[in-house]
């Protein structure tokens, strides 16, 4: 729940209803943190990935298969209240994530199911009206193709049918398994502009990203919009 100072924290309520959540890429860094937080809150969480995790999380149901296959994707979304895509377009998935999201958009348009996509920070503006991170000289070349594809996914969602219920989340620039951080239970929410602290840093831990996504699932605040989260 967002607070007056732009911070957010978990506020558990008895009125919160259990949601059926499918996480595509639920064994990855972001996906596993989202799954853990949602399952801990009592939601019915199903993770889809190409392989089973070495250390399954309590309360999470695991399914395996390639979501680039249409039948697998149909099975993955069946009965879900919320579908979260947490896939990185790298390696064999480069060029595939936007196709997966396009297929999901076609399947879910006109339904009550919400589609959430975990994107990167590359498409965020460095300042209001300013250039994107990906367009800066300091953006690593190794991640440009990945960031560009996730940017196209966002454009694709913005151009989708009005009946598609979606949200797109850009974590802070310093988000990833290389900087796991700690669970604080707090975060700030922004729009299309990168959030930084007083020292110019942009960070969020995996656990706190999980909190932010679970909060959005329980109390929808972003309809057909991108938002960013950081400390």
Residue 7 reports pLDDT greater than 60: no
Give the whole-angstrom CA distance, residue 1 versus residue 155. 27
**Is 68 within a domain?**
yes
* pLDDT tens by residue, 186-209: 999 999 999 999 999 999 999 999
**Is 214 within a domain?**
yes
**Is 110 within a domain?**
yes
pLDDT at residue 17 in the model: 83
pLDDT at residue 185 in the model: 96
CATH of residue 71: 3.40.50.720
**Is 211 within a domain?**
yes
* pLDDT tens by residue, 154-164: 999 999 999 99
Give the whole-angstrom CA distance, residue 121 versus residue 202. 10
**Is 100 within a domain?**
yes
Task: Centre a 10 Å sphere on the Cβ of residue 94 and count the other Cβ atoms it contains.
Answer: 12
Q: Which domain holds residue 61?
A: 7-230
* pLDDT interval class at 15 (50, 70, 90): low
Tally of domains in the chain: 1
Length of the chain, please?
Answer: 231
What are the residues facing 193 on neighbouring strands? 125
pLDDT at residue 9 in the model: 41
Q: Between these two residues, 14 and 176, which has the higher pLDDT value?
A: 176
Interval 112-134 mean pLDDT? 96
Give the whole-angstrom CA distance, residue 59 versus residue 51. 18
Alpha helices in 26-69 (DSSP H): 29-40
Structure tokens at 53: 């995790």
pLDDT at residue 16 in the model: 64
- What are the b/e assignments for 155-166, b being 16+ CB within 10 Å? ebbeebeeebbb
Residue 135 reports pLDDT greater than 60: yes
């Amino acid at each position: 729940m967002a607070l007056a100072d732009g911070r957010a924290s978990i506020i558990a309520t008895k009125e919160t209803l259990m949601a059926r959540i499918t996480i595509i890429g639920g064994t990855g860094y972001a996906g596993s943190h989202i799954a853990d937080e949602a399952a801990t809150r009592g939601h019915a969480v199903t993770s889809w990935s190409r392989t089973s995790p070495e250390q399954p999380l309590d309360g999470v149901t695991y399914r395996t298969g390639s979501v680039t296959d249409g039948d697998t994707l149909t099975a993955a979304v069946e009965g879900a209240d919320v579908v979260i895509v947490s896939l990185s377009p790298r390696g064999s998935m480069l060029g595939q994530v936007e196709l997966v999201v396009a297929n999901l958009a076609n399947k879910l348009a006109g339904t009550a199911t919400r589609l959430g996509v975990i994107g990167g920070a590359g498409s965020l503006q460095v300042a209001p009206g300013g250039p994107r991170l990906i367009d800066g000289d300091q953006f690593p070349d190794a991640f440009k193709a990945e960031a560009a594809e996730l940017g196209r996914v966002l454009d694709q969602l913005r151009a989708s049918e009005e009946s598609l219920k979606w949200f797109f989340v850009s974590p802070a620039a310093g988000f990833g398994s290389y900087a796991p951080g700690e669970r604080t239970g707090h975060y700030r929410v922004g729009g299309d502009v990168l959030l930084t602290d007083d020292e110019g840093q942009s960070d969020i831990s995996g656990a706190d990203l999980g909190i932010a996504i679970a909060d959005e699932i329980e109390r929808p605040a972003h309809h057909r919009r991108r938002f960013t989260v950081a400390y």
